[in-house]
Chains A and B, each alone.
Chain A
């Protein structure tokens, strides 16, 4: 609840019929930091993401997005596309959702839709080819070019996104989310399916997004090497509730977390840890 946090999740609960996917979850994501949300399969991480990014309406609880200028937005009151447009929260998907029949460059241009829509005078200025529109379009292409360069896809800018290798598609989706110029970037398992070299490159990309752009990142991840390497803060969930929170180091040594991942009791986990050390 301090001025440093960009996203405050407050007593969030999400119920699907009789199933409680998320129960009374509270955590903060700090501005300019990388916050990781981890937990075993089915812990409710993606549900939390879908609540934050407006794909689900939470049953209970509040999520507040605080911008640098002091503007506070209650995310649970916005829906659908407004989360991205007004609250400046961008997201990627667990199973990549690019526009496969459009080129990499076009994907990044679509991401700048709202800015370009204004620049094209709601299409009318663009239709007559007004100079202001032309410069705006050039700037948009430059931004796209910058991001293509950063993810190392500048040579494949004119290839269909669906034709790119898996790892490139993952990075392109992150670049596309960044082209909406978000304050908070939510990544749903960005390292899933990547090999060791690609994960290392991804970690580097995420760190540079945080440092160079000042964009805060919230990520769900299973790849612990990525989580431990780049996160500033880790929140651990199991069965829809938060079981631990802290720095990567704290989490690594937390018996509750180990128990959750091993599917064992806490005492057993402590025993395992003690016998190990």
Chain B
């Protein structure tokens, strides 16, 4: 493995100047043609109502120059920091530092997450954002089982999120069951719906599977809107009970947790409590997924993603394998949904639109399919980053889109683009994303 890799390293050490220059020139030319009418010439209504035009060649030149420069920068960056597995021009010392940083990133992130409520105790905004990010981390990890491991493209993941949320909301408001009783029930119900979705789509692959799951997400939302007698329709379900600490409510009253502990009540207690609940749920999802990957079922999921025909030849029941993937992913979505309901105290169909599915899928794809750390980083970037750009007002979407484009240039297979083996004899070595299939069904 090392011998053949050494040779191209030397060959590609000097970036091909002529190639980069040519590419930048072509980009600039395209920009010139595109923008000459869009920016170069501006039409306006003249004083007598006739059409006059102004030329803005200065701006045009600036844009074309920006494209030219940008193209060179992008190409240089791409050569330096190519996808995992390709040869880089980054010096070995920097690479080593990066490797150490990469290994440290997961534990550091975990410790930091544990300390967030301590550090930002009096910053409600940060705590709320943390809870939001963790919810999406959990959803991403849940969907990762279906999309990343089993390679089944699911565009309707929000349906299970909704099933979980409504399960808790309805069970709690109608029967007065507590959060901790409803949480597993919400997961089981969501898993049940996952199997129900799984059955009709077993034979579908790729685009067809994506479309049917998309429709399933919409069906659930429309049923929730229209089944007024049960779900309250567009009005949603309100006054959903908050979770209690082993039966002790977090209220200002005499029987509240604060009074029992003899400390002064603060509404932040509940936020911190919720933060740790979602952190525990997310870590549970992560732990179970990591365990499952090393069990036969997890290996069968990944094998299914790699080659379904070969799986059948090895006696693997692809039907149950697919259904368990759907059910497991849906169950975690259901847990997250129940948490969402108890945190908000109010849910309505508007929270479960296709946009949520797309966002969670984007997190999984951006993170690198199948990578747990990648998904967590992607959720942090997508949700946290989006908040970070709030100061940029109308340019927020633009900056965000640009960041996504740049990321896809460097990391076409996501932030963490390689796959870690589930079992090894001598040493575990990451598998390049070029070899790992994305799945097609």
Contacts and interface: CB of A to CB of B under 8 A. Distances in A.
Interface in A92-141: 93, 97-103, 105-106, 109-114, 116-117, 120, 123, 126-127, 141
Interface in B286-314: 288, 291-292, 295-297, 299-300, 302-303, 306-307, 309-314
Contacts of B299: 102, 106, 109-110, 113
Which interface residue of B292, B425, B436 has the most chain A CB atoms within 10 A?
Answer: B425
B318 A101 contact: no
**Contact-residue size bin, chain B (C-beta under 8 Å from the other chain):** 35 or more
A112 B299 CA distance: 10
Nearest to A124: B295
A107 B310 CA distance: 10
A264 to B, nearest CB: 37
A102 B421 contact: yes
B424 A103 contact: yes
Contact of A120 (B295, B302, B427, B432): B295
Given A102-B303, A159-B1, 20 more contacts: A55-B309, A83-B315, A84-B312, A99-B303, A101-B431, A105-B423, A106-B422, A109-B422, A110-B316, A113-B299, A113-B316, A116-B295, A117-B296, A123-B297, A123-B324, A126-B296, A141-B423, A163-B1, A176-B314, A177-B313
A163 B418 CA distance: 14
Contacts, number: 137
Interface residues of A, number: 46
B22 to A, nearest CB: 33
28 contacts: A80-B318, A81-B311, A85-B315, A93-B310, A93-B313, A97-B307, A101-B302, A102-B302, A102-B303, A102-B421, A103-B431, A105-B424, A105-B425, A106-B302, A110-B316, A112-B296, A113-B300, A113-B303, A117-B297, A126-B291, A126-B296, A157-B425, A157-B426, A158-B428, A160-B431, A160-B435, A176-B314, A180-B314
B12 interface: no
B421 A103 contact: yes
A136 B386 CA distance: 47
A160 B423 contact: no
A85 B312 CA distance: 9
A90 interface: yes
A123 B426 CA distance: 26
B50 interface: no
B124 interface: no
Contacts of B435: 100-101, 160, 162-163
Residue picked from B292, B310, B313, B419, most chain A C-beta under 10 Å: B313
B174 interface: no
Given A114-B315, A117-B297, A123-B297, A97 B424 contact: no
B315 A127 contact: no
Interface of B: 1, 288, 291-292, 295-297, 299-300, 302-303, 306-307, 309-318, 324, 419, 421-429, 431-432, 435-437
A113 B298 CA distance: 10
Smallest CB-CB A-B distances: 7 pairs: A101-B436, A84-B315, A85-B315, A99-B306, A162-B435, A116-B296, A97-B310
A49 to B, nearest CB: 11
B300 A80 contact: no
Given A99-B302, A126-B296, A90 B310 contact: no
Contacts of A80: 312, 318
Contacts of B288: 127
Nearest to A88: B315
B295 to A, nearest CB: 4
A160 B1 CA distance: 11
Contacts of A163: 1, 435
B214 to A, nearest CB: 27
A82 B313 CA distance: 9
A231 interface: no
A145 interface: yes
Nearest to B303: A110
Given A97-B307, A105-B425, A123-B297, A81 B317 contact: yes
A93 B1 CA distance: 26
